[in-house]
């Protein structure tokens, strides 16, 4: 059942005393159904979601108005100024007066309840397993070939099967299978996982992982842990038709950091491509150009530009100064001029559209206009040189129109 009407009603009455039973009745759900569906759609418990929305509204009033703490507490559903101060300190590590003095804007956007696919969050124990490694020169379809190899070497096996990509090793690719076995060499693993199911079709699996790791994760109250992700293969009448995806997660600070700042000119060497795998094609065009003309720039690049959507992308690297380009080289220089920008800082995210919706919502709530009409936001990924997700950050920029 869509939660959009319930979320809209919750937003309109966010400062009132929370009555979960009344919310459940309004949506013709039982209390337990409401808890499950709300968590699945938003990644938050009802109380956690309400707390963050109240605090987000309170922080906006503290920073941008002269309202007293007593009035802010009253208007945002806190019992007293003391309760408000305690909540602010616990959430962002600052007192209200320190926050008002300036710095990052802390913002938690409202959820529209438009869930693409069901996600459950639960503590789970992966039993002890035996790890098997399958190698192949082709990555596409490696999972099913690994499974065929498993069943050929162990006819009649009917225990639980988990798997994950292990990346490239030498000239080939590796896919790891983890199976229940008396000769288990991997210990049991216990943790909190976000889970979703999908058909055993490669395109469907990729879509499910993309949604789980980007769209759902980046708007939830969780972040990935260092534990490996896993796929469990589910049997139906002796045939594997579905997968259960396990993404290891942990709670994280529940507010996006947004900053208003003045930026100097930013120069980027970019390429634009459209169609299937446009982002990969645009990135490759830039790196191919650099490899042929200025390899040292490609080797030292740490800040990477991305702008666009699923059908057309502009990608490149940030340069300290523009460079001369030969005609018809497939790349170009662009400049974002000095000026005021709203900047959202986040973890590495494969879909910057997730961050864009948050930034747009915050700017609208602050009464700020975007830059030149139709000018899109753009993301700058910054790496530590190793391209590991945990060492990569992203900043989404949008020019502010005076």
Identify the pLDDT of residue 82: 95
Average pLDDT estimate for 41-50: 80
Beta bridge partners of 336: 266
Statement: residue 402 has pLDDT above 70:
no
Identify the pLDDT of residue 49: 86
Q: Tell me, what DSSP letter sits at residue 28?
A: T
Identify the pLDDT of residue 113: 64
Statement: residue 247 has pLDDT above 90:
yes
Q: Minimum mean pLDDT among 110-114, 241-245, 296-300, 330-334: which range?
A: 110-114
Q: In terms of DSSP bridges, do strands 230-236 and 189-199 run parallel, antiparallel, or are they unpaired?
A: unpaired
Rounded to the nearest integer, the mean pLDDT of the chain is 84
Dihedrals phi, psi of 304, to nearest 5 degrees: -120, 135
Please give the helix or strand (H or E) that residue 146 lies within, else none: helix 142-153
Distance between CA atoms of 38 and 5, rounded to whole angstroms? 12
Per-residue confidence band for 108, with pLDDT thresholds at 50, 70 and 90 = confident
Per-residue pLDDT of 308-362, as tens digits, reads 876 789 999 999 888 888 888 889 999 999 998 999 987 665 567 777 878 888 8
Per-residue pLDDT of 174-227, as tens digits, reads 999 999 888 999 999 999 898 999 999 888 998 899 888 877 877 676 778 888
Q: What are the chain's domains?
A: 4-107 (1.10.10.60), 120-251 (3.20.80.10), 257-401 (3.20.80.10)
Identify the pLDDT of residue 378: 92
Supply angle C-alpha 389, 393, 398, rounded to 5.
Answer: 140
Per-residue pLDDT of 264-288, as tens digits, reads 999 999 999 998 778 888 988 999 8
Query: Percent of the chain scored above 70 by pLDDT?
Result: 88
Per-residue confidence band for 380, with pLDDT thresholds at 50, 70 and 90 = very high
> Would you call 188 helix, strand, or coil by DSSP?
coil
Distance between CA atoms of 78 and 16, rounded to whole angstroms? 10
> Would you call 292 helix, strand, or coil by DSSP?
helix
């Amino acid at each position: 059942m869509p939660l959009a009407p319930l979320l809209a009603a919750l937003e309109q009455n966010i400062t009132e005393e929370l009555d979960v039973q009344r919310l459940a009745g309004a949506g013709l759900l039982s209390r337990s159904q409401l808890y499950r569906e709300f968590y699945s759609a938003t990644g938050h418990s009802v109380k956690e979601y309400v707390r963050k929305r109240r605090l987000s509204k309170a922080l906006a009033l503290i920073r941008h108005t002269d309202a007293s703490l007593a009035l802010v507490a009253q208007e945002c559903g806190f019992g007293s100024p003391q309760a408000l101060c305690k909540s602010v300190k616990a959430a962002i590590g600052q007192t209200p007066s320190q926050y008002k003095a300036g710095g990052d804007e802390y913002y938690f956007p409202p959820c529209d309840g438009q869930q693409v696919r069901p996600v459950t969050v639960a503590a789970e124990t992966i039993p002890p397993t035996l790890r098997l490694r399958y190698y192949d020169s082709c990555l596409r379809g490696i999972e099913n070939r690994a499974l065929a190899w498993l069943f050929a070497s162990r006819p009649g096996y009917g225990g639980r099967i988990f798997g994950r990509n292990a990346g490239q090793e030498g000239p080939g690719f590796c896919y790891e299978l983890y199976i229940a076995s008396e000769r288990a060499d991997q210990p049991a693993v216990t943790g909190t996982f976000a889970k979703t199911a999908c058909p055993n079709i490669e395109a469907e699996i990729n879509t499910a992982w993309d949604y789980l790791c980007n769209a759902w994760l980046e708007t939830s109250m969780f972040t990935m842990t260092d534990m490996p992700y896993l796929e469990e293969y589910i049997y139906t009448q002796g045939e594997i038709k579905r997968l259960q995806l396990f993404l290891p997660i942990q709670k994280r600070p529940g507010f996006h950091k947004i900053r208003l700042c003045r930026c100097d000119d930013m120069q980027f060497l970019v390429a634009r491509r459209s169609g299937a795998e446009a982002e990969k094609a645009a990135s490759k065009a830039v790196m191919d150009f650099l490899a042929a003309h200025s390899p040292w720039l490609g080797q030292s690049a740490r800040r990477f530009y991305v702008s666009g959507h699923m059908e057309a992308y502009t990608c490149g690297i940030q340069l300290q100064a523009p460079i001369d380009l030969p005609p018809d080289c497939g790349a170009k220089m662009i400049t974002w001029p000095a000026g005021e920008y709203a900047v959202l800082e986040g973890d590495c995210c494969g879909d910057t559209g997730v961050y864009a919706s948050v930034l747009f919502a915050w700017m609208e709530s602050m009464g700020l206009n975007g830059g030149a009409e139709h000018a899109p936001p753009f993301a700058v990924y910054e790496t530590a040189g190793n391209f590991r997700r945990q060492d990569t950050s992203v900043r989404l920029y949008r020019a502010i129109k005076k």
